[in-house]
Amino acid sequence: MNVLILILTFVCMEPITWFMHKYVMHGFLWALHKDHHDHSHEGVFEKNDYFFFIFSIPAIALFYFGTVNGLSYQFFIGLGITLYGIAYFFVHDIFIHQRIKLLRDTNSPYLLAIRRAHKQHHKHVGKEEGECFGFLFVPIKYFKIYFKKS
């Protein structure tokens, strides 16, 4: 049952991420996310990196409350959120934005579709008129581009 909770949490993080990206990061917390789009930051870190800490708070709380009296379902929800965050870091920060120079070349239609959709998202430097707010599941039109070629 705990593995099912973990998997369900991981999968449910996608619509939550879409919502947070569209309405929080491109909404009232745009001041933190703006430098991710216009590259106005200096150095290695962006204000946008604060979201790593902001979004880790629920997982940390769930880990804590999920271990107070042994391992409860809360622990596995926190683990699902954390694993999604790790996947986000590898795909978004390493693969897409190359903040660590790894995983540059791929022939994977799935990864190429994610990269293309994210590029579409970043063509908008303002907070308005954005598109492709998802992470692991992007509009099907981007998958069609690369799956036709394979």
The mean-pLDDT minimum among 9-23, 27-41, 76-90 falls in 27-41
pLDDT of residue 13: 96
Residue 110 located in a structural domain: no
With a cut of 70, say whether residue 63 has pLDDT above it. Answer: yes
What pLDDT band is residue 40 in, cutting at 50, 70 and 90? confident
Q: How far apart are CA 54 and CA 64, in angstroms?
A: 16
pLDDT digits (tens, 9 = 90+) for 91-102: 888 888 787 777
92, part of any domain: yes
| Domain with 57 in it | 2-105
Mean pLDDT of 114-132: 83
Between 140 and 7, the more confident residue is: 7
Residue 147 lies in a domain: no
**Residue 12 falls inside a structural domain:** yes
Domain membership of residue 113 (yes or no) is: no
Residue 130 domain-assigned (yes or no)? no
Contact present, 84 and 13 (Cβ < 8 Å): yes
**CA-based angle 56:60:64, to the nearest 5?**
170
Q: How many domains are contained in the chain?
A: 1
Residue 20 lies in a domain: yes
Asked whether residue 88 is assigned to any structural domain, the reply reads yes
Closest CA to 27 of 119, 128, 134: 128
